[in-house]
Amino acid sequence: MIKKILVPLDGSEYGKSALDWGIWLAKKFESSLVGMHVVDIVSLEGPFLHDLSGSLGFEPFLNFSTKMREVLEARGRTILSSFEDECGKADVKYEKFMPVGVISNEICEKANLADLVILGQRGVNAMFEYGLLGSTTESVLRKSPKPVFVVPDRFVEPGKPMLAYDGSPNSGKAMHSAAEWMKTLGLPLTVVNVKSPEAESQALRDAENYLRPYGIKAGFVQLSDDPPVSIEKYYRENNHDLLFMGTSHHSRLVEMVLGSTTEHVMRNVTGPFFLER
């Protein structure tokens, strides 16, 4: 069950959407929220300042760095004050933090004490980043010790969730989470499995047996094509609005790589998705 939800905040529209999702889920699961704004150490001690100070032998912009920190901390306090206001209006329990450090590292560290991390697909630098995912979101997806829920820039209450299930341990964890969500939210679930045309799938039968005790309405779909493309296409063509999946790699030697299916889907599905590592 989800009892503590970590919501990193950066003042962007995506951050606001993450908070909207966090409040909605906190009310459904009777959870508390952890609002977190990281004062980015890269902005305070970036390579430009380090290169100059190193070449000149002293810290020529030390005062500038101090002023920058004051500005960034003031902005962080404003963001967290807005977080407090929204939680108060929604009558949701909360706590807040404003650490200084590398943003993705601080998020993953705090995630150890949460059950779920909710992140916007992109952040305050969205206009300068390529693709659907921002650099911080990608980094957290690869390193987070807990499940990550990635959301677009606007909250829309879901009605047609889908689970991509391949029988792997990580997709099994995602199925457990999907079942808990559907039971709590009162939503149906479509379980999709991709197999080659000549192979009979045991995965869907296993999924049906697993989900039966939850008493949720579930449909089961067998696809037979390239897994990444099939999942994306089925999701889009059937108007699904929430996707659950596990990371698809199978090697401990490649911990930082999510897997080809996961990579493709998360870069091409525009709706919210839940990723289990």
CA 269-136-145 angle, to 5 degrees, is: 85
The pLDDT value given to residue 41: 83
HSE-up (13 A, CA, CB side) for residue 2? 33
Mean of the pLDDT values across residues 203-229? 92
The pLDDT value given to residue 268: 82
How much of the chain exceeds pLDDT 70, in percent? Answer: 81
Q: What is the per-residue pLDDT across 16-74, written as a single tens digit (0 to 9) for each?
A: 999 999 999 999 999 999 999 999 987 666 544 444 444 444 454 555 577 888 889 99
pLDDT band at 259 (very low <50, low <70, confident <90, very high): low
Tokens (6 digits) for 119: 């992140």
Q: What is the per-residue pLDDT across 168-185, written as a single tens digit (0 to 9) for each?
A: 899 999 999 999 999 999
The pLDDT value given to residue 53: 45
CA 127-77-143 angle, to 5 degrees, is: 55
Residues 6+ apart with CB under 8 A from 48: none
Rounded to whole angstroms, what are the CA distances from 142 to 1, 108, 119, 276? 23, 10, 13, 11
Q: Which of 76-85, 178-187, 248-257 has the lowest mean pLDDT?
A: 248-257
Rounded to whole angstroms, what are the CA distances from 41 to 13, 50, 79? 22, 12, 18
How much of the chain exceeds pLDDT 90, in percent? Answer: 63
Residue the block writes with tokens 């099939």: 230
Asked whether residue 132 carries a pLDDT value surpassing 60, the answer given is: no
238 compared with 225, residue with greater pLDDT = 238
The pLDDT value given to residue 124: 55
Domains of the chain, CATH where assigned: 4-41+71-151 (3.40.50.620), 161-276 (3.40.50.620)
HSE-up (13 A, CA, CB side) for residue 117? 31
pLDDT band at 133 (very low <50, low <70, confident <90, very high): low
User: What would the DSSP string read from start to end of 35-104?
Assistant: EE--EEHHHHS-HHHHHHHHHHTS-TTHHHHHHHHHHHHHHHHHHHHHHHHHHHHHT--EEEE--EE-HH
Q: How far apart (Å, rounded) are the C-alpha atoms in residues 155 and 249? A: 30
Give the 3-state secondary structure of residue 144.
coil
The pLDDT value given to residue 29: 98
HSE-up (13 A, CA, CB side) for residue 104? 14
Q: Which of 6-10, 193-197, 200-204, 238-242 has the lowest mean pLDDT?
A: 193-197
Rounded to whole angstroms, what are the CA distances from 265 to 31, 32, 66, 159, 209? 29, 30, 42, 20, 26
Mean of the pLDDT values across residues 233-251? 84
The pLDDT value given to residue 238: 97
Closest by Cα among 234, 230, 225, 229 to 190: 234
Q: How far apart (Å, rounded) are the C-alpha atoms in residues 275 and 22? A: 16
The pLDDT value given to residue 226: 78
The pLDDT value given to residue 269: 83
The pLDDT value given to residue 230: 87
Q: How far apart (Å, rounded) are the C-alpha atoms in residues 157 and 91? A: 19
Kindly report the average pLDDT of the chain as a whole number.
85
